[in-house]
Amino acid sequence: MKSLETAGGLIGRTVERVEDAGLLTGRGRYIDDLPVRRDTAHLAILRSPHGHAEIRAINTSAASALPGVSAVLTGDDVGRLTRSMTVGVKANVECWPIARDRVRYVGEPVALVVAENRYVAEDALDLIEVEYETLAAIVDPEKALATDAPVLHPSLGTNLINERSFRYGDPEAAFATADHRIAIRIAYPRNSCTPIETYGVIAEYDPGEDAYDVTANFQGPFSIHAVISRALNVPGNRMRLRTPPDSGGSFGIKQGVFPYVILAAVAARVAGRPVKWIEDRLEHLTASVSATNRVTTLEAAVAADGRITALCWDQLEDCGAHLRAPEPATLYRMHGNMTGAYAIENVAIRNRVVLTNKTPTGLNRGFGGPQVYFALERLVHKIADELGLDRLQVIRRNLVPADAFPYRTATGGLLDSGDYQTAIDRACAEGGLDALRLRRDQARAEGRLYGIGYATVVEPSVSNMGYITTVLTPEERAKAGPKNGAQSVATVAIDPLGSITVKVASVPQGQGHRTVLAQVVAERLGLPLEAVRVNTELDTARDAWSIASGNYASRFAAAVAGAAALAADRIRERLAAIAASQLNVTADRIDFKAGKLFDRDNPDNAISFGRVAAASHWAPGTLPDGTGQTIRETVFWTPEQLEAPTATDGINSSLCHGFIFDICGAEIDRTTGQVRIDRYVTMHDCGRILHPGMVDGQVRGGFAQAIGAALYEEYAYGGDGSFLTGTLADYLIPTVMETPEPLILHHETPSPFTPLGAKGVGEGNCMSTPVCIANAVADALGVEDIRLPLSPSQVSEWLYGEERPPSKPQDSTPVATGASGERLLTGSGSADVVATRESVWTMLLDPNTLKAIIPGAHEVRKVSDTHFRAEVTLGIGPVKGRYHADIRLSDMVAPQAVTLSGGTEGALGSGRGTGRVTLTETATGTRIDYRYEAAIGGKVASVGGRLLDGAARVVIGQFFQALARHAGGGGPPSAAAGFTQRLLSLFRRRR
């Protein structure tokens, strides 16, 4: 470190981070880097290839027998040793971290293997045989509500797991008397902030004390600790949870590691040794967590001048296959600020939560904000357009007045501070809005597609731990007891040499908390930055913590750094008293600077900090009466403004409310449909800024993730529940090339509710930027129904309409979709064989012949006379995978005809189908005719229909051609076979 910063002025300065030297030299300590016990084994997880299926049987014997495997667990084993995870709403439904009788999303854990290393564990996964009976899947939240929709949880009887309606003010009257009613409908997609480090867990179990000890890169909230302990059926003090020193990013996502904490803990218990699991990227994309997708209809009652008098929200939240804690929190986090930055008196809300065959959702940067603000800010644009008013004028007309803070919103939020009008004025002036408008006009004059969008957002931070209970009715809440507050904790300790250690339960994931805490405490105690060392590892068995602990809801600067300041102040007060007695002055005259305590009126009358600080250790008897020790001070701080929901459902869901106003200029390429961000201005009011460099980093990072959400990223599902974006080649994260540079502006209004005046800042652009870009694109194209991500293909559809079918169809068979959304294929063909009907018949029923002729078969086993099992490797286009096939024979008329039906499944997809084979005697031998109908689902179905149809035809053709060859002969009787023959001859030559 190049300079020794001394007293004063540390807060608010961009000092270099204390974290960086280690991280830059490869000395970070992330979970996969930590030393483990020598007998630690490795966990791998078998996951469902189906979106929805009953598990008929699991055979783990071959996996258990593999050398190096120490345990194999199924859902039944986990069920015996744990309890269902707590569900946050009143509903007759269980929530397990592993499938029991049924799988409900692609990637759901089905079995666990513990082995000497990950390679062997994954070998064993391949040996587990699972018999599934697939069920119709449902992925669309609106269709999931239909009376005939497949139901995920039979005990629930419906997919609608929760519904609540709210009413604030008099929305009916406002709508009845409004000049205009203007509505918009939004379908917000799923995405995830995908940290570059995946989940990791190291777990061990002590049977002597019936206690678990788990290290996980969990981020909080530590209310989840209670969920884990309950599921493992131990008191909280027997579920020790620790976090590693470093974490490779989270953005909310690592809250979702907790089901794996449970699984690894149970696996360690069964295996009798510590177990380590590091999630791989494919697992992470498929089955960690994502944000919710949401369908929203938002209507406004509007006066002629654009003033909004009421909002009516109808939100349908899709939480995936299980309602995992803390869901449905995504739907309720914004509840206190559902009116955004606007003073709107009357609000009606209907919130519904639906379950579908998708991965369960969880925390994700912005948490609920992107979904809400996309609807609200699209609507504000639409109101202006429909009324023929200037959009900025409509925004300004509705803002909460600058003199109204703290402002109580209709839904119960308490907006702490702000001056939205000035912030907007400054953003327009300093962001160059007039020049941008000229640029747009010029572009349009040249025939280019250019638009300008705005977004006005209130960014909540420091969540009220009671907000989620708004999902309960007031009666249910009364019964359960009030929930509220948010305990932040910080400890400041002084060692015998007088140096300072700060300990917090903030669980940073790369933000730089250690640096900021050192700044805060060093400034308070008049010390150089280096005199303070900060530890942010959390150990629930040793450290001070509470349910609100952790790194989420942008709570660090406002709450945790504030608690550290309060702890430092308490120590400072006592140190001042000790110094005062030694310097013979009163304590109020003592000042702290440059490592000294001195009389403000006579600075020469001074004593070194170390001497005063160490007195509690070395000479406690010399301390003035009533001073107490200065060895360690722990402060728990919970703000009084975070009250429980009121009897009328008012809730101050967050302590702080920052403000963001964004301006986006975007151009759309007419030819490609590509959206280019030409200019982006983002104005922030995050209260007092503690470290400008880190605030800048938070804004840029959130902005880049929002660019991804707006333009590239979507967790996409096929109609059968197959997951279509399971690699980083499918789920497109912006690189440096796709990330424009925003102009970042600040307008600080310190929060009166936090010790340092700071508010959260990290999540805002995830809320404001997607809708700001969408508003710019809507402005450029004149399209209302803007859906994300704004990919070139999506935008082209608006530019040119849907792609027309090719003028020369390659396939005369119309492509159909199966009941559960798979792709249906049909076809037929024939082959001539120089063999008798009887010998062909015998071959068809012989496993050895089948092994020789089934393309890619490794093994064919005869289960019964009419039932075969096969292992095959098939490559279709770029997607090569190993599949288990199950073939049954029926309607047998020997030796003339037989129906083959069966299914095949593997990690990349599944197929099932039936084929009727008839054998006819000919002059030279036997003619084999076949026709088939097949349904294909999963990832393999996404490689493209034409490719798939052709490939299926080739594979099925190969089978019969091989049969013909095996029987000694065969010609090319059918049209499709010509290509097949050429292909086959290629293979033969290679052999």
Residues found near other proteins in the complex (CB under 8 A): 14, 16-17, 19-21, 23-28, 30, 32-33, 119, 193-198, 246-249, 251, 280-282, 509-512, 693-694, 696-697, 700-701, 703-705, 727-729, 733, 735-737, 739, 741
State the minimum distance, in angstroms, from the CB of residue 737 to other proteins: 5
Nearer of residues 512 and 906 to other proteins, judged by Cβ: 512
Quick one: three-class SS letters along 659-715? EEEEEEEEEECCCCCCEEEEEEEEEEECECCCCHHHHHHHHHHHHHHHHHHHHCCCC
Nearest Cα to 254, choosing from 208, 220, 223, 280? Answer: 220
State the minimum distance, in angstroms, from the CB of residue 699 to other proteins: 8
Nearer of residues 21 and 183 to other proteins, judged by Cβ: 21
The residues that bridge with 186 in the sheet, in sequence order, are 296
Q: Mark out the alpha helices in 35-162 (DSSP H runs).
A: 61-65, 75-81, 118-127
Nearer of residues 623 and 743 to other proteins, judged by Cβ: 743
State the minimum distance, in angstroms, from the CB of residue 112 to other proteins: 20
Nearer of residues 197 and 314 to other proteins, judged by Cβ: 197
State the minimum distance, in angstroms, from the CB of residue 703 to other proteins: 6
Residue 544 tokens read as: 């001070």
Nearer of residues 26 and 447 to other proteins, judged by Cβ: 26
Sign of the four-CA dihedral 721, 724, 725, 726: positive
Nearer of residues 31 and 521 to other proteins, judged by Cβ: 31
State the minimum distance, in angstroms, from the CB of residue 676 to other proteins: 16
How many other C-beta atoms are found inside a 10 Å radius of the C-beta of residue 985?
10
Contact 748, 689 (CB under 8 A): yes
State the minimum distance, in angstroms, from the CB of residue 24 to other proteins: 4
Contact 671, 447 (CB under 8 A): no
State the minimum distance, in angstroms, from the CB of residue 686 to other proteins: 17
Nearer of residues 198 and 296 to other proteins, judged by Cβ: 198
State the minimum distance, in angstroms, from the CB of residue 566 to other proteins: 27
State the minimum distance, in angstroms, from the CB of residue 730 to other proteins: 10
Q: Find tokens 């994300």 and name the residue.
A: 788
Rounded to an integer, what distance in angstroms lies between the CA atom of residue 440 and that of residue 235?
Answer: 63
State the minimum distance, in angstroms, from the CB of residue 708 to other proteins: 9
Q: Mark out the alpha helices in 66-178 (DSSP H runs).
A: 75-81, 118-127, 171-177
Under DSSP, the state recorded for 342 is B
State the minimum distance, in angstroms, from the CB of residue 196 to other proteins: 4
Nearer of residues 216 and 331 to other proteins, judged by Cβ: 216
Rounded to an integer, what distance in angstroms lies between the CA atom of residue 195 and that of residue 708?
Answer: 13
Residue 52 tokens read as: 């929805």
Contact 53, 105 (CB under 8 A): no
Rounded to an integer, what distance in angstroms lies between the CA atom of residue 914 and that of residue 453?
Answer: 54
Contact 218, 37 (CB under 8 A): no
The amino acid at 969: G
State the minimum distance, in angstroms, from the CB of residue 769 to other proteins: 11
Under DSSP, the state recorded for 584 is T
The amino acid at 333: R
Instruction: Kindly state the helix (H) or strand (E) to which residue 975 belongs, with its residue range.
Output: helix 975-990
* SS3 category, 931: strand
State the minimum distance, in angstroms, from the CB of residue 848 to other proteins: 26
Rounded to an integer, what distance in angstroms lies between the CA atom of residue 86 and that of residue 95?
Answer: 7
How many other C-beta atoms are found inside a 10 Å radius of the C-beta of residue 408?
13
How many other C-beta atoms are found inside a 10 Å radius of the C-beta of residue 208?
6
Nearer of residues 20 and 891 to other proteins, judged by Cβ: 20
Residue 757 tokens read as: 């005046």
* SS3 category, 110: strand
State the minimum distance, in angstroms, from the CB of residue 45 to other proteins: 15
Nearer of residues 62 and 824 to other proteins, judged by Cβ: 62
Measured between its terminal Cα atoms, the distance across the chain in Å is 66
| Omega within 30 of 0 (cis) for the link into 789 | yes
State the minimum distance, in angstroms, from the CB of residue 281 to other proteins: 4
Nearer of residues 10 and 565 to other proteins, judged by Cβ: 10
Nearer of residues 33 and 441 to other proteins, judged by Cβ: 33
State the minimum distance, in angstroms, from the CB of residue 591 to other proteins: 32
Contact 151, 104 (CB under 8 A): no
State the minimum distance, in angstroms, from the CB of residue 31 to other proteins: 10
Rounded to an integer, what distance in angstroms lies between the CA atom of residue 515 and that of residue 488?
Answer: 18
Nearer of residues 592 and 703 to other proteins, judged by Cβ: 703
Nearer of residues 31 and 415 to other proteins, judged by Cβ: 31
Query: Please, what's the largest Cα pairwise distance for the chain?
Result: 123
The residues that bridge with 504 in the sheet, in sequence order, are 490
Residues with Cβ within 8 Å of residue 544, at least 6 apart in sequence = 489, 491, 503, 505, 634, 636
The amino acid at 194: T
Nearer of residues 196 and 894 to other proteins, judged by Cβ: 196
Contact 654, 458 (CB under 8 A): no
State the minimum distance, in angstroms, from the CB of residue 249 to other proteins: 4
Nearer of residues 246 and 299 to other proteins, judged by Cβ: 246
Q: Residue 429 phi/psi, 5° resolution?
A: -75, -55
| Omega within 30 of 0 (cis) for the link into 221 | yes
Rounded to an integer, what distance in angstroms lies between the CA atom of residue 706 and that of residue 770?
Answer: 6
CA atoms within 13 A on the CB side of 929: 7
Nearer of residues 739 and 914 to other proteins, judged by Cβ: 739
The DSSP annotation for 601-666 comes to TEEEEEEEHHHHHHHHHH-GGGSPTT----SEEEEEE--TT-PPPPTT-----EEEEEEEEEEEEE
C-alpha to C-alpha distances, 749 to 396, 406, 420, 700, nearest whole angstrom: 19, 12, 10, 21
Nearer of residues 698 and 849 to other proteins, judged by Cβ: 698
